[in-house]
Structure 1
Amino acid sequence: MVTELSAVRIDKWLWAARFFKTRSLATDAVDGGRVQVNGLRVKPAKDVKIGDRVELSIGDLHWELVVEGLSEKRGPAPEARKLYAETEASQARRAKQLDERHLRVEPAADIHGRPTKRDRRSMDRWRGG
């Protein structure tokens, strides 16, 4: 899967490395400024080379990667994992974010379905109606 390419478009590389399900999602992320190569905001046609640093934000997770392989084709996940190496600082930050997400309480966790007639009457009294 890792071929002898000298450079690959950033949107193709992100798709081949399985950070995005489709190439158009990868292109939208690059256009939206959520991807930086070597500290600079880039366009989807920007070529990445081995050794480039890629910073990527997906949702509330932030990745810092070093390009270790190039591919224009999407393959199995174990092969895609060989295309990059995540920095240790990035791994620690992501692990901390995931732990915090697990500890956070969902605001709507106490709400179960529609209000009952009793709940509606209680809300009406509270509103003064």
Structure 2
Amino acid sequence: MRLIKNIRVLGLGFICSIALSTYTLANEQNITKKNVPQSIILSFEKSYPNAKALNYSKETVKGKTTYEVESKDGNTKRDLTYSANGQILEIEEVIPLSSLPKDVIQSLNKSYPKANIVTIEKITKGNNIS
């Protein structure tokens, strides 16, 4: 009896997590360039004149709307998150493994010898880089 109750609780938790994930994902929607505020288009083109915008999306979380521009600049893939007034809030940029300091690469190889590093992203929020 106790096992059945635990399974029900786990099942309910699983269903709730799926529902919350679906709700969160439902807030992000792909949009066309014409639906992106002009301030964002101008900011993107000024900051990255050689980049090509590949996709645009809009997301609203807790009443705050942000816009994302997925772009490619040569071989560099970059996702930029903007406020509605065109301010860059976050930059996600794919970087090559070779750009990491050698001690970081050695530490990764030592800690995770069987790992296959597929993608490395540099994330910038304001002055914070991670």
- TM-score bracket relative to the smaller structure: under 0.3
In the superposition, the TM-score normalised over structure 2's length comes to 0.27
The structure with the largest strand share of the pair is: 2
Larger Rg: 1
Compare relative contact order (CA 8 Å, sep 6+) and give the higher one, 1 or 2: 1
